Amino acid sequence: MRQPVVTLGLILLLASCRQTLEADVTRFSSLPADWRGQTFVVLPDPGQDDSLEFRAYAGLVTDGLQSHGLEPARRGAELAKIIVTVHCAGVGTRTEYWFDPGTNWAGWGGIDDGTLYSHTFFLTALDVELYDAAAWRKGRRLMLFQGHVLGQSDIGSLNRTMPYLVQALFAGFPGADHQTVSVTVPMAGG
């Protein structure tokens, strides 16, 4: 009767060989019909100007926007049509528990033998907003697109999961308005 334990162990071993990022992607959009070909710039929040980490993540988002037809502004925010903001963070963990009762039941609900298993998933989030640059320069924040990704994986490093969060966000970009979709992104390595 140890076959369920062996089978479960084999499934877990095989699952660990191919890691994925499971993501819920929510998008809201009021992009104009002619959004493709527009210029954009990714702006840091105050205090992020010198952040190498922010620059790396902004580069990933820039690549994603370019792959969907937007163009980086050559002279920065003063000529861009769209302002982009990027926020990301590790948001916690989620642990799943399961119990294998084994084969030795003591009767009346008592258990002589068994094993408790657990697996911890790491949760990471990415928020990307696109704003009308003309309104931005006048001090107004007219949002054109808002995307939120909540990812779950076996990897606790935001740096290692960020490329996959960005990939999930841009899967089917800009996507259906006011909807959350589930996206599975294969992750390289381990």
* Strand pairing class (82-100; 179-186): unpaired
Residue 43: CB atoms within 10 Å: 18
Q: Say what the pTM is.
A: 0.80
Q: Is 164 helix (H, G, I), strand (E, B) or coil?
A: helix
What are the φ and ψ backbone dihedral angles of 35, each rounded to 5 degrees? Answer: -70, -30
pLDDT digits (tens, 9 = 90+) for 58-84: 999 999 999 999 999 987 778 899 999
- The number of distinct structural domains making up the chain is 1
pLDDT 10s digits, 156-181: 888 899 999 999 999 999 988 999 99
9 or 178, which is more confident: 178
**Looking at residue 131, which CATH number applies to its domain?**
3.30.160
Lowest mean pLDDT segment, chosen from 13-17, 57-61, 133-137, 176-180: 13-17
Is residue 17 domain-resident?
no
Identify the domain containing residue 80 by its residue range.
3-7+31-186
Q: What is the pLDDT of residue 80?
A: 94
Distance of CA 116 to the CA centre of its chain: 30
